[in-house]
Amino acid sequence: MNTSMRHLANWSILGLTLTFLIGPFLIIILAGASNTEYLAFPPEGLTLKWYLKVFTVESFRASFLLSMALAVFGTLAALLLGVPAAYALNRYDLPMAETVRTIVAAPIIVPGIIVGLALLRYMVVPTGVTVTLALFMAHTALVLPYAVRVVSSSMTNLRADMEEAAVLLGCSRLQAFTKVVLPNIRGGVLAAFILGFVTSFNQVPVSLFLSGPGVRTLPIDMLAYMEITFDPSVAALSALLAFMSLAIVFTAERLLGFSRYV
């Protein structure tokens, strides 16, 4: 195969890959701008009324605020647990450390439907906790593996003798952690927060099992909306959420070098 043929093959493969990755996104954007009363592609004329309608639906506003609160506070709770766990796993020779890592990663390994069903059957039903609290605990558990993994990656690149030097100079272990370790891994912590936020906000399987009357996350509310209405507003909202996620990840990559930690 000559050089021109190889270049043609490479560009063809690249084009097919980009079409596969970006094509559905473009379809959703155009479907959300369709000038019809039903979801259609290709669109029969273009309009922004469905994008504007998204902001007028009360259930979307309420579920958006709930999803935002769960993503922010669930990720913060996961970091409060995950940063010390990552520190201990990286700095100390703990017994059964690999077993602990596997257990922590379980919410990622196990399918979300199984996790949601297990939490509903063995946590929500026996304890009778509120729907909101159940969602908060579930989202914290789902984000925890990302917090431990990303912060552990950041800890690996931090020399342990820097912390020991701080201790020798008079700092306690806690002071050395807050004054030396945390400032040096803040990029990893912020990257873990962003990854956890996006993961929590877009979570579907677990939230589907744990949502209740009047308490639904935005993705679950979108599914419920589509059961009774088939207008393009859900496609418009999906496009807006995709833009939000892309903007967050792009900003994180430019400011933090996000790909170094994941």
186-245: per-residue pLDDT in tens?
Answer: 888 888 888 889 888 888 888 888 887 778 888 888 888 888 878 888 888 888 888 888
State the average pLDDT over residues 96-109: 75
Q: What is the CATH number of the domain that holds 159?
A: 1.10.3720.10
Look at residue 123 and tell me if it is in a domain. yes
Look at residue 52 and tell me if it is in a domain. no
pLDDT at 262 over 60: no
State the average pLDDT over residues 20-33: 80
Look at residue 209 and tell me if it is in a domain. yes
Instruction: Identify the pLDDT of residue 10.
Output: 75
State the average pLDDT over residues 118-140: 82
Look at residue 84 and tell me if it is in a domain. yes
Look at residue 33 and tell me if it is in a domain. no
Per the CB < 8 A criterion, the answer to whether 211 and 35 are in contact is no
State the average pLDDT over residues 52-67: 87
- The region, left, alpha or beta by phi > 0 then psi within -120 to 50, assigned to residue 217 is beta
Look at residue 27 and tell me if it is in a domain. no
Please write the tens of the pLDDT for every residue from 151-181: 887 877 777 777 777 777 777 777 777 777 7
Look at residue 68 and tell me if it is in a domain. yes
Instruction: Identify the pLDDT of residue 90.
Output: 78
Instruction: Identify the pLDDT of residue 44.
Output: 77
Look at residue 149 and tell me if it is in a domain. yes
Instruction: Identify the pLDDT of residue 258.
Output: 55
Instruction: Identify the pLDDT of residue 214.
Output: 76
Q: What's at 191, amino acid-wise?
A: A
Q: Rounded to two decimals, what is the model's pTM?
A: 0.81
Task: Please state which of the ranges 68-72, 74-78, 188-192, 246-250 shows the lowest mean pLDDT.
Answer: 246-250
Task: Please state which of the ranges 63-77, 85-99, 224-238 shows the lowest mean pLDDT.
Answer: 85-99
Q: What's at 38, amino acid-wise?
A: Y
User: How many domains are contained in the chain?
Assistant: 1
Range of the domain at 132: 57-228+237-260
